[in-house]
Amino acid sequence: MLSDATLLVNKELLFEYEKYIQRILGIPHLFILLNGRSNLVDPSTESLLACKPFFPESQYADAVHAATCLEANAVLITNDAHFKEIKKSELIEVWSISEAIRRIL
């Protein structure tokens, strides 16, 4: 059930959310709400090293997002093609947004 879902974030993702919500959308209260309902997970060095080979150096933040999911045994929900290789590897579970909607709702 969606009300049971937990949003796990890392510092990189919080920064991306803050940039998008506050600076682009101009809705600071939405970021405050999202931040208050999120659980911060800092991935270990081991998780980062396990995920890093699936991403180019320029996509470091994506490696951190994947490592966060590995660390927390969580599903990464994204339509970003940068996660295609790690999804194929099955190191972490990656769902598209459509797949997540079907599974969660």
pLDDT in tens, 52-96: 999 999 999 999 999 999 999 999 999 999 999 999 999 999 999
Domain ranges of the chain: 2-104
Which residue, 47, 59, 100, is CA-closest to 83?
A: 59
Protein fold of 2-104: Rossmann fold (3.40.50)
pLDDT score for 2: 56
CA angle (37 as vertex; 50, 70 as ends), nearest 5: 10
pLDDT score for 100: 94
pLDDT score for 1: 52
DSSP code, position 22? I
CA distance 35 to 47: 23
Across the range 26-31, mean pLDDT stands at: 90
CA distance 41 to 13: 10
